[in-house]
Structure 1
Amino acid sequence: MNSHGDGFFPDEVVLQILARLPVKSLFRSKTVCKLWYRLSSDKYFVHLYNELSVKNLMVLVEVSEASESKSCLICVDNLRGVSEFSLDFLKDRVKVRASCNGLLCCSSIPDKGVYYICNPMTRELRLLPRSRERPVTRFYPDGEAILVGLACDSSSQKFKVVLAGYHRSFGHRSDGTFICLVFDSELNKWTKFVSFQDDHFTHMNRNQVVFVNGSLHWLTGSCSGVLVLDLDCDVWRKMPLPEQVSYGSTGNRIYLLESDGCLSLVQISDAWMNIWVLKDYEREEWQLADRVSLRCIRGLVPGIFPISQTGEYVFLATHKQVLVYQRKNRVWKEMYSVKNGSTLPLWFSAHAFRSTILSCH
């Protein structure tokens, strides 16, 4: 037995095995003995488990049944297949707004301005303080934020939530004032700052927010660049796209993803999928990492949307399917398909996801 923290824990070989279990299996193993029961609260083991988990990227899809008012969450894992779970432990009807390293940011559907952070695998939740003082009225019409971002540092186990949007004066669509609220989990409070932005965002690039290098990144609707929020100093800035993407790319669709800790762009045309990776973040130097033929799925190309990726595979969603492309052997595979009526396309509510035991508190 080895000593970790204040007590004794199984030796390193056993820890390595337990750290590779799914979260549900890990929690079931607590009944084996007192030592295993304490593992999920041991700092060394939690760090080990999450360090391994973040390498296995998945897809989380919120599926709404046409015949029912409720929705369920489908998790698609390249290693373990498909599993289903719910957010019923929140005791509120919610919509998933952002995902980062196993934590979800959810907004209440019936109660505007109410946000939760939860870990759906451990079923732990945290209700955030109210982000606004005034209720939504026609004189104060600011609704839900245009951009919602979640930044979760798996090593420090701290997180930040970002709500950003345009202030709308009564009788005006927008006056150009971009208000940003940032919640710090350590301080347990919101801070507010104002800037001036004139960018627009489609539903897809609002959804695909990427947390890397201490910053949150969104692709603008016009694909003119990447909007970056540096969370260390609360400063917005713009980052250019690769020249080959910025110019002469009419007819292409562009998406912002993460790739093994790096910022990545996925460019889709009728016949090809090009994957760009920002190899040098400070110098803003992009590199073409992969070029994938779409000939095998030609009929699905107009409706495919990349959701998450690693150096080994790419997950993509269509209206009713989740596909995975294995980059090493260049094989396409259907991982999940909606068997009955669904009110929305799958890509409309799909997020990159990791299965961790990170705490919300």
Structure 2
Amino acid sequence: MSKTDLKKKGVELPEELVIKIITRLPPKSIFRFKLVCRDWKLLMESSFFIDIYSKSNWSILHGSYRCTTSFLEEVELNLHGKTRNWSFTSDVIRKYTQNNVKIKEIWVVACADGLVLLCVLEEDMTKRYYIGNPMLSQWIQLSSPPYLAQYHSFVDSGLVIRKHNSAILGYKVIRIYSEDMTSIIRTWSWTFQIYSSDTGEWSVQHVSCPGLYELPYSKCNPVSLNGKLHWFDDMYSRRIIVHDFFSYDDKIRELPLPVLMKSTQHESSHNKIICTTSQGCFVLIEAELIEEVKSYNVRVWRLESDSWNWEKAWEINMACVELGVKCVPMAINYFDMDIIYLWDLDHKCYIACNLRTHTKTYGTRRHGAPCKEDSLCLDSYWYGLQFVPSLQVIPT
């Protein structure tokens, strides 16, 4: 019975109650209910509904997970007694099984605005790309990219999305190429091979980068935000490299790191830098181990996209909230920059710490063998893919 039918019978459900009921339903049901009546369609397309649904379901994923037959494993926060296993790969694997084609490897290249880019390596070494929305089990196979014989190698670099009023209008898949290593002449440019949903074709784009012919160490895992890819380069001059793939700019932008951050000497193997996004901003998390207090000093820097200036969102020594060296910073909340997530090495669980209230929430404890998070959390640079569920249909 629709909301309109209830009104005719004199029954009026509060909108807040309707939202609470609908957000508990499976994604496919939510998508179908948009067709029930105009009121429900407007409700489920409202930013208020999407915010509530997304905030209760978003996940942090391993940055380069590869598999053959299993689902993609996520780094589950599980802080509220509720987990969701997104079957990122099962739908694609099912298609291959039906066609009797064997898969050698399958992995997640990137996540952006609820869409996921998968790469499948078939047994004959053919590489194919799929763009999908796991919420709706909608997957589209991209056309095969043309072979560029003049380049030495390439890396599947990322996925960027074009949006308007929260609606996805288009996307681009990015591969970055290296020139022939035997070449003596440096072109001082980067070469991107780009698939555009607007044309359904691959194209080649050259962008100039004076003094920047070496690709950044983290070229294979940039952070996607507002149609831009952000690379963190710590190999040479310590900088952020940004390119907007939906603009007509043919130059790559170089940004120095925050002054205080740039002067920090990472002498300890426990120090780490995390690149991520929160509240619509590109964010750097700098976690420095302070031996005297056996805890981490954490700085969070936010990049203002309008001015391209850094702003320090906050700084805290985790000893102030009684979290020691065994509680390693891992991420911040996608929607709230004041909430930081840490992995507890002793108790094998996640901790969410609200820096406004200094309150802590503990997740479900893991038992048995060492967890993947144990090794991931100690990496010097960590790019956890953030998946925020979307009810948007993939543009075709």
- The answer to whether the superposition gives a TM-score over 0.5 is yes
- State the Cα distance separating 1:132 from its structure 2 match: 2.6
Q: How does 1:67-216 map to 2 (within 5 A)?
A: 70-74=70-74, 75-76=76-77, 81-86=82-87, 87-91=89-93, 93-110=105-122, 111=125, 113-133=127-147, 141-145=152-156, 147-151=157-161, 153=163, 155-169=166-180, 171=182, 177-195=189-207, 196=209, 197-203=212-218, 206-212=220-226, 214-216=227-229
Per-residue CA distance 1:160-198 (angstroms, 9 max, x = gap): 234243424275699565211222223322231123443
- State the Cα distance separating 1:149 from its structure 2 match: 3.2
The AA in structure 1 aligned to 2:240 is V
Match of 1:275 among 300, 319, 323: 300
Match of 1:253 among 272, 277, 280: 272
Give the aligned length. Answer: 343
Q: 1:43 to 1:123 in 2, by over 3 A?
A: farther
Contact 1:63 1:71 in 2 (8 A): no
Contact 2:222 2:229 in 1 (8 A): no
Which residue does the alignment assign to 1:21? Answer: 23
Match of 1:218 among 231, 236, 241: 231
Which residue does the alignment assign to 2:311? Answer: 287
**What are structure 1's unaligned runs of at least 5 residues?**
3-9
The AA in structure 2 aligned to 1:153 is K
Q: 1:182 to 1:314 in 2, by over 3 A?
A: farther
Q: 1:30 to 1:144 in 2, by over 3 A?
A: closer
Which residue does the alignment assign to 2:341? Answer: 315
**What are structure 2's unaligned runs of at least 5 residues?**
5-11, 94-102, 290-295
- State the Cα distance separating 1:209 from its structure 2 match: 0.6
Say whether residues 1:237 and 2:253 are aligned partners.
yes
Match of 2:331 among 306, 309, 312: 306
TM-score normalised by L of structure 1:
0.75
RMSD: 4.2
Q: Determine which structure has more spread, i.e. the larger CA radius of gyration.
A: 2
Contact 1:306 1:315 in 2 (8 A): yes
TM-score normalised by L of structure 2:
0.70
Which residue does the alignment assign to 1:60? Answer: 61
User: Which is further off, 86-95 or 292-301?
Assistant: 292-301
Contact 1:63 1:72 in 2 (8 A): no
> What SS does the corresponding residue of 2:19 show, helix, strand or coil?
helix
| More contact order relative to length (CA 8 Å, sep ≥ 6) | 1
Q: 1:30 to 1:299 in 2, by over 3 A?
A: closer
Which residue does the alignment assign to 1:265? Answer: 284
> What SS does the corresponding residue of 1:207 show, helix, strand or coil?
coil
- State the Cα distance separating 1:267 from its structure 2 match: 0.8
Q: 1:351 to 1:51 in 2, by over 3 A?
A: same
The AA in structure 2 aligned to 1:286 is W
Identity of aligned residues (%): 15
Contact 1:102 1:119 in 2 (8 A): yes
- State the Cα distance separating 1:291 from its structure 2 match: 1.8
> What SS does the corresponding residue of 1:157 show, helix, strand or coil?
strand
Which residue does the alignment assign to 1:227? Answer: 241
